């Protein structure tokens, strides 16, 4: 459902085991997981970064699917994005 954004020169990233909060890269570096590092590889918003999606209904749909499928990584990513949107809306009030 999602793909991790590659670094320059095609260096790919991955998550390790139960550590869903960190993206590890094949060059030995790592960064904290954030929505801008994750792209959808299918569905309504294919090719878009999770940080670009503000369609709350669709994000909740992805959350439901991830929970049903046991996809903990997708669940973590979507929850991060929903939290960002919630904080943004709160700031606007």
Distance CA 35, CA 51 (A): 5
What is the reported pTM?
Answer: 0.87
Domain count, the chain: 1
Q: State which residues form the domain around 81.
A: 2-92
Distance CA 40, CA 53 (A): 10
Antiparallel, parallel or unpaired: β 38-40 and 2-4: antiparallel
Distance CA 31, CA 85 (A): 21
Distance CA 7, CA 28 (A): 12
Tens-place pLDDT, residues 25-80: 999 999 999 999 999 999 999 999 999 999 999 999 999 999 999 999 999 999 99
Q: Of 17, 18, 83, 93, which is closest to residue 50 (Cα–Cα)?
A: 83
């Amino acid at each position: 459902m999602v793909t991790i954004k590659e670094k320059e020169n095609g260096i790919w990233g991955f998550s390790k085991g139960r550590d869903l909060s960190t993206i590890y890269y094949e060059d030995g570096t790592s960064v904290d997981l954030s929505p801008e590092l994750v792209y959808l590889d299918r569905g309504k918003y294919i090719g878009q970064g999770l940080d670009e999606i503000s369609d709350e209904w669709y994000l909740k749909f992805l959350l439901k699917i991830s929970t049903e499928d046991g996809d903990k990584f997708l669940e973590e990513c979507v929850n991060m994005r929903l939290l960002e949107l919630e904080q943004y809306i709160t700031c606007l009030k």
